[in-house]
Structure 1
Amino acid sequence: MKFALSIWLYSWTMAIILNYVADQRKVKIYSWVAVVAMCFEQAAITIQALRGQQSHFNSSDAFGIIIFALMGIFILTITLWTAYITYIFFKQKEFKLQPALVLSLKFALVYFVIFSLFGGYISSLKGHTIGASDGGKGLFFLNWSTTFGDLRVAHFFGLHSLQLIPIFGYLVNKYFSTNKALQLVKLFSLIYLIFIIFTLIIALNEHPFYAIKYYS
Structure 2
Amino acid sequence: MKLVIPKMREAKRIKWVAYAAVMSLWFELSYIIIQAAKGRRSHFNFETPIENALYGLMGIGAFFLVLISFLVGIMIWRYGYKDNSGLRYGAIIGLIAGSVLTLIFAGFMSTDPTYIKQKLTLEASVIPYLGWSKVTGDYKPAHFVATHMMQLIPLIGMWLDKAKLGKKFSNLMGKKNATVLFAFIFITLAIALFVQALYGIPFIKS
Gap change, CA 1:57 and 1:98, over 3 Å in 2: same
Structure 2 letter corresponding to 1:162: M
Q: What TM-score comes out, normalization by structure 2 length?
A: 0.82
3-state SS of paired residue (2:45): coil
Q: What does residue 109 of structure 1 align with?
A: 95
* Alignment correspondent of 2:181: 187
Structure 1 equivalent of residue 73 of structure 2: 86
Q: For 1:40-189, list aligned pairs within 5 A.
A: 40-95=27-82, 98-117=84-103, 118-126=105-113, 128=115, 133-136=118-121, 137-174=125-162, 175=167, 176-177=170-171, 180-189=174-183
More off after superposition, 22-31 vs 49-58:
22-31
Identity over aligned residues, as a percent?
Answer: 26
Structure 1 runs not aligned, ≥5 long: 1-17
Partner Cα distance (1:179, 1:101) in 2: 15
CA distance in structure 2 between the partners assigned to 1:32 and 1:70 by the alignment? 16
- In the aligned structure 1, how far is the partner of 2:31 from the partner of 2:204? 30
| CA-CA distance at 1:116 after TM superposition | 2.8
Which protein is richer in helix relative to its size?
Answer: 2
Q: 1:24 — aligned with what?
A: 9
1:201 aligns with 2:195: yes
RMSD between aligned alpha carbons? 2.3
Q: 120-129 or 38-47, which moves further after superposition? A: 120-129
Q: Bigger shift: 172-181 or 51-60?
A: 172-181
Is residue 139–residue 146 contact of structure 1 (8 Å, CA) maintained in 2? yes
State the TM-score, normalizing by the size of structure 1.
0.78
Cα distance in 2 for residues equivalent to 1:127 and 1:56 = 15
Q: Look up the SS of the partner of 1:150 in the other structure.
A: coil
Looking at structure 2, the residues matched to 48 and 187 of structure 1 have their Cα atoms a distance apart, in angstroms, of 40
Specify every segment of 5 or more residues in structure 2 that has no aligned partner in the other structure, as ranges.
none
Number of residues of Structure 1 aligned to a counterpart in Structure 2: 192
Q: Give the Cα separation in 2 of the matches to 1:126 and 1:87.
A: 34
SS at match of 1:68: helix
